[in-house]
Homo-oligomer: A and B are copies of this chain.
Amino acid sequence: MSVQSQNHRDAWFAPFFKELLASVKPVFGTTAATPFIFPGTGTGGWEAALSNTLSPGDRVVTFRYGMFSHLWIDMMQRLGLEVEVVEGRWGDGAYEDKLADLLEKDTSKGIKAVCVVHNETATGVTSDIGRIRETLDAASHPALLMVDGVSSVGALPFKFDDWRVDVAVTGSQKALSLPTGLGIVAASDKALDARSSAKLKRVYFSFDDMLKTNKNGGVPYTPILPLLHGLKASLGLLNAEGLDNVFARHHRLAEGTRAAVAAWGLKLLCREPRWQSDTLTVVEVPEGLDSQKIVDTAFAKYNLSLGLGLAEVQGKVFRIGHLGNMDELMLAGALGGVEMTLRDVGLPIELGSGVGAALKVWQEGTPVIPTRECLMA
């Protein structure tokens, strides 16, 4: 309607959008990068990252250790890149030593980019981007460092500037607790410079069109206004809580969940503690049990949405999310639901054991809500 609904061509939009772009930077841990907001998903963000910086035939190194790293590799291949895949166990993170080997052999510096999924939602693994950067530095290798931060940015510490990331990608639907619909990208100056030589075709996901219009607070095509307003509100909530508190809360929720899993006598798919994700926990089920049955029962009987095991770990794991707008009591309820479900499918779990273990972590670790400290005087 011409009269009533908001129009992004009216005068309010430019200052609103400029401020929004600026306010995206802290969740990436950057002051130096250039942010982009695409109408699309994180998958679109991946395409933006690759197509604005690379050319068909360019060599890239990446790691496959889960569904999402697998899908990104598939995209790289279909875009015509020459992809060197370091295969990993599903449940491990990016192997720094194998990367070091590849970089060492690349005496001609032909590798144009190293691509890493920071937090693998299929396996509950958080790779160590800081050590990936150290590995590149140790080899004095100039490859671009591209990071999929879709399920980490805004929930886990992400240090774009410290790690000297070149392109990082996230979406609206994970830590930002919004619907899907925004592919949010941060790019270093080095990444922006790579546009001039990048021969991959790009229009919809082109940095150029964004840069040209964004600088005056405009956009190259109609934006998703409700999501932009939602993004502003969501970033406002993160800031009100304090990013460090947000990270601490995710860590606390994850510690409780891991304590519950241990109390149940089950194993995490991610064996290596340094890689265990604070945004979701992926649990192996005992031999002979199909995890699909757990997911179905939880949904059918307790209205609880657990994550399925995907692809290679199908049937073997289930996933408990603790990302975004979640607190201890919601997660305690979910863990209670898991516990009942595990008994329903025949595991001899003692009811209360896992929840109790989590509560122990939380009773000790949960701070008083700052605005309510007066009640505790």
Identify the A interface with B (CB < 8 A): 1-4, 7, 9-11, 39-44, 47, 56, 71, 74-75, 78-80, 171, 173, 177, 179-181, 200-206, 220-227, 296-297, 299-308, 320-322, 324-334, 336-337, 339-340, 343-344, 350-360, 362-363, 366-369, 372-376
Asked if residues B39 and A40 are in contact (CB atoms below 8 Å), the reply is: yes
> In the assembled complex, how far is the CB of residue A25 from the closest CB belonging to chain B, in whole angstroms?
24
* B324 engages A329 (CB within 8 Å): no
In the bound complex, do residue B344 and residue A363 qualify as a contact, i.e. CB atoms below 8 Å apart? yes
Contact A337 B332 (CB under 8 A): yes
Known: A43-B221, A355-B355. A329 touches B304 (CB 8 A): yes
Closest to A56 in B: B201
Q: Is the CB of B225 within 8 A of A180?
A: yes
* A201–B336 CB distance below 8 A: no
A261 to chain B, nearest CB (A): 14
- What 6 A-B pairs are tightest by C-beta distance, nearest first? A352-B356, A333-B333, A332-B336, A329-B333, A300-B372, A352-B352
The reply to whether A204 and B40 contact each other, CB–CB distance below 8 Å, is yes
* Chain B residues, CB < 8 A from A10: 299, 305
Contact (Cβ within 8 A) B42 A41 = no
Q: How far is the CB of A221 from chain B (nearest CB, A)?
A: 4
Find out whether the CB atom of B302 lies under 8 angstroms from the CB atom of A366.
yes
Question: In the complex where A43-B221, A305-B7, A340-B359 touch, is A296 in contact with B351 (Cβ < 8 A)?
Answer: no
Q: Compute how far the CA of A227 lies from the CA of B75 in the bound complex, rounded to whole angstroms.
A: 26
Question: Known contacts A2-B305, A301-B366; is A205 also within 8 Å of B204 by CB?
Answer: yes
Q: Which residue of B lies closest to A320 (CB)?
A: B2
Query: Are B357 and A352 closer than 8 Å at their CB atoms?
Result: yes
Given contacts A40-B40, A41-B221, A78-B203, A2 and B334 within 8 Å (CB-CB): yes
What chain B residues lie within 8 Å of A327 (beta carbons)? 302-303
- Interface centre among A200, A206, A372, by most chain B C-beta atoms within 10 angstroms, is A372
- 13 A-B pairs with C-beta separation under 8 A: A1-B177, A39-B181, A41-B222, A78-B201, A79-B203, A171-B222, A204-B204, A301-B366, A328-B333, A333-B336, A351-B357, A355-B359, A356-B356
Task: Give the residue name and chain of the B residue nearest to A2 (CB).
Answer: B321
User: Which residues of B have CB within 8 Å of A39?
Assistant: 39-41, 44, 180-181
Whether A339 pairs with B351 at a CB distance below 8 angstroms is no
A329 with B339, Cβ < 8 A, contacts A203-B75, A368-B300 known:
no
The answer, among B206, B351, B363, for a CB contact under 8 Å with A359, is: B351
